[in-house]
Chain A
Amino acid sequence: MNIVKQLMAIPGVIAAGEYAFRGDRFSYEGALTDEFARMASILCRANTLSVNMQSEMVDSFAENCGCRPVQGWIAHGNQITICAVGNYFAFIENREELLNDVMTIMRAKVGDIRDDLLVNLYAKLGGDTKEALY
């Protein structure tokens, strides 16, 4: 089953989707408007780039310490949590056991992210991974 559909079938998952590197391509299901989904896509890209950069830095000072490659991140809010694994994201309610379930599904379905972040981010939604971004 498609990852997003599988996530949306779980009670407490508010929205789930995919985002692309530029934030200009995304898809989603759930309680978001198109505009909010676009914003979420931009947010996810920013945080994913940040944590990837940090893990490269940490790895360059402490090689093979086990943090690279980064798989995702979690921002745990007061009542809502955002999880991102690879180029998938989910907004979920802070319910008992839900975060663990969602992370287990996302990690299992997305699989291990390997080194080339841009290839991964573009692969699912299409796009030229060699395209110069600037």
Chain B
Amino acid sequence: MNLDKMMDLPGAMAAFTYTDRGDLQSQVLREGTELTPQVLDLLAHSCVANLAIASMEARGWEAVTGQGGFQPLKGFSVVGLEWSVVVNGNCGVVVRNRDVDYEATFKALQTA
């Protein structure tokens, strides 16, 4: 996982990896950001929960409606006021909303 490369994404403020349980494993922070490893650890835990819930919802939706195309989940993003956190698998990126390219970010997380 090349976190430095993730930092090249538009608006990237931080890139991080985490365990399946959400414990922060590694991080790269943009200089001057107010984000800290402690905040990233909290975010990582919530993102693991969100990915699990979204996967459950994708599975349930496809089963009940017969509509495909949702599984397997390719990522989740929480859009805050000034920034968004985008995650997939065991990697996440925090990006500034005014510069964000959601597609590029999700794409980068697929190959990560």
Asked if B103 and A99 sit within 8 Å, CB to CB, the answer is yes
The yes or no answer to A54 lying at the interface (CB within 8 A) is yes
B74 contacts A76, C-beta separation under 8 Å: yes
Contacts of B70 in A (CB 8 A): 75, 77-80
Complex: A78 Cα to B58 Cα, angstroms: 10
- When C-beta atoms are compared, the residue in chain A nearest to B86 turns out to be A74
A80 to B43, CA, bound (A): 25
- In angstroms, how far is the closest chain A Cβ from the Cβ of B38? 7
- B34, B58, B72, B78: which has the most chain A beta carbons within 10 Å? B78
**Contact-residue bracket for chain B:** 35 or more
CB within 8 Å for A70 and B79 given contacts A39-B61, A61-B42, A78-B72:
yes
- How far is it, in angstroms, between the C-alpha of A72 and the C-alpha of B75 when the chains are bound? 15
Closest to B64 in A: A39
* Known A58-B46, A77-B73; contact A51-B78, beta-carbon cutoff 8 A: yes
Interface contact B73-A78, CB-CB below 8 Å: yes
Interface residues on A, range: 35 or more
B1 CB-CB contact with A under 8 Å? no
Are B57's CB and A75's CB within 8 A? yes
Query: CB within 8 A of B78: which of A55, A94, A97, A103?
Result: A55
User: Nearest B residue to A55 by beta-carbon distance?
Assistant: B80
Residues of chain A contacted by B108 (CB below 8 angstroms): none
Instruction: Tell whether A58 pairs with B39 under 8 Å between CB atoms, given A70-B80, A76-B73, A76-B88.
Output: yes
Q: B74–A43 contact, CB under 8 A?
A: no
Asked if A69 contacts B39 (CB within 8 A), the reply is: no
Nearest residue, chain B, Cβ from A61: B42
> Is B102 within 8 A of A99, CB to CB?
yes
User: Considering only CB atoms, which chain B residue lies closest to A74 in the complex?
Assistant: B77
| 25 A–B contacts, CB within 8 A, in A order | A39-B64, A47-B53, A47-B54, A54-B50, A58-B43, A62-B36, A65-B34, A66-B83, A67-B78, A67-B83, A69-B81, A71-B79, A72-B79, A73-B50, A73-B78, A75-B57, A76-B73, A76-B75, A76-B76, A77-B73, A78-B72, A79-B70, A80-B70, A99-B103, A100-B103
